[in-house]
Amino acid sequence: MESSGFGTGTERKLGEIMRICFLLKVRPERVEEYRDRHANVWPELQEALRETGWKNYSLFLRRDGVLVGYLEAEDFARCCAAMKQYSANARWQEEMAPFFEGLENGSADDYMKPLQEVFHLD
């Protein structure tokens, strides 16, 4: 595990589960609709997330559109790459793209950059 500086946020000791946190920005005028859409995430998308190793996945949304995502995985990069193989994810990302600020190229999946964990208490 990296001990100083800012790494990718995904460094870990062999066998450890990765705790991933990322930030995205939902357009303020779309916050309520975004919240409503996530009250009914498609079952096939939920199954794809499970099959590709996403565990304990949560999204937290502030009124101003700041979105905080948290999940645990054995290998976050591998989980993200595997999700790109699912048509349900491609459809979901296409529908969700207009909700976000700052997505020049790609989907929200491409902008989930892990934050560096600086403290953890079991």
Active-site position among 7, 23, 28, 38? 38
Active site residue 120: no
CA–CA distance, 51 with 99 (Å, rounded to integer): 26
> Looking at the annotation, which residues are catalytic?
38
